[in-house]
Amino acid sequence: MLSYIIRRVVLMIPTLVAISIVSFVIIQLPPGDYLTSMITAAAAQGETIDPAELARLRERYGLDLPVYEQYLRWMGNILLHGDFGYSFQWNRPVSELLGQRVFLTALLSYSSILFVWAVALPLGIYAAVRKYSWGDYLTAAFGFIGLATPDFMLALVLMYVMFAFFNQSVGGLFSPQFVDAPWSLAKAWDLLKHIWIPMIILGTNGVASLTRIMRANLLDELHKPYVLTARAKGLSEPRLILKYPTRIAINPFISGIGGLLPAVLGGETIVAVVLSLPTTGPLLLNALMSQDMYLAGSIILITSTLAVIGVLLSDLVLAWVDPRIRYER
């Protein structure tokens, strides 16, 4: 088991290097750079920018260097100094902009995953055990609705319902008095009172898909000989279901977090814009629109790292649940 964990951790290193290269290349693909966007915005307002000032800014931010030199400088500063670069748009270090936002993004993403597991696992087991019952049909109906409804649409509907019928706003993660306040127990409690709304919105699609996956996997196991033998020996039904077929059927359910976490992180951007969440999503959208390459690249790198960590955790849990996953040399 230890050797398997070490191999999986070592494999993360080239994966993260490849992600950093791809993320930096992606933000360089659109024509021009941040200064080009700045010139276009100034021209739209009937203003001009001194060419000498543009040359000074291009040299200051390293935009006159080849792309590979910009990448090596950026990654070297991250690895050696923890410096993610300077945001052109905000005129501030990227690390200052991302401090609390990365924490809130990670908290929201992983709490959504826990919500998905806590709801989808029992629903999938119930739907399989009570096949073709009214509960199974009801679960299937909610599942299809959850799969068909985009996250941002669910957020808009929830905002309207809460405001129209309960006169409450569901935007943001904090009450107004805690937005700029330092961290305290009161602020943490206020965060817990607000985070459940975006958590449910981001997790609805995952609950719908994983419930169907768990139901299908468990149905494949319930009629196999080892289940019939255990039932014939008098083992109680709840213990039989949880101890034997569920442990086997849960494997694809656990490995599904590898695709679920990137989906949550991807949907978080639009939901964050709709609900005005102080996460990395709105910041990334603005950075991509203005071609603020160091800010956009840092956000993509960090969120991709969170996704890789999520895949690693799912692999480790899978190896713990099923010893057959612990590959040997």
pLDDT band, very low/low/confident/very high, at 293 (cuts 50, 70, 90): confident
In this prediction, residue 126 has a pLDDT band, given cuts at 50, 70 and 90, of very high
Residue 43 to residue 66: CA distance in whole angstroms: 27
Q: Pick the range with the lowest mean pLDDT from 120-129, 163-172, 255-264, 289-298.
A: 255-264
pTM: predicted TM-score of the whole model, two decimal places: 0.79
**Which whole number is the average pLDDT over 283-298?**
84
First-residue to last-residue Cα distance in the chain: 12
130's CB contacts (< 8 A; 6+ apart) are 136
Supply the mean pLDDT for the chain: 82
pLDDT on residue 286 = 86
pLDDT for 123: 92
Average pLDDT of the segment spanning 317-321: 78
Contacts of 191 (CB under 8 A, 6+ apart): 173, 174, 178
Is residue 328 pLDDT above 60, yes or no? Answer: no
DSSP label of 314: H
Reported as type and span, the H/E element at residue 87 is: strand 86-87
Over residues 28-82, the pLDDT tens digits come to 777 777 777 777 777 777 777 777 777 777 777 777 778 888 888 888 888 888 8
Please choose, from the candidates 242, 256, 244, the residue with its C-alpha nearest in 3D space to the C-alpha of residue 318. 256
Task: Say what the pLDDT of residue 122 is.
Answer: 92
pLDDT tens for each residue of 212-255: 888 988 998 888 888 888 888 888 888 888 888 888 888 877 77
For the chain, which domains are there? 34-83 (no CATH), 102-325 (1.10.3720.10)
Return all residues near 98 (Cβ < 8 A) that are at least 6 apart. Answer: 84, 280, 283, 298, 299, 302
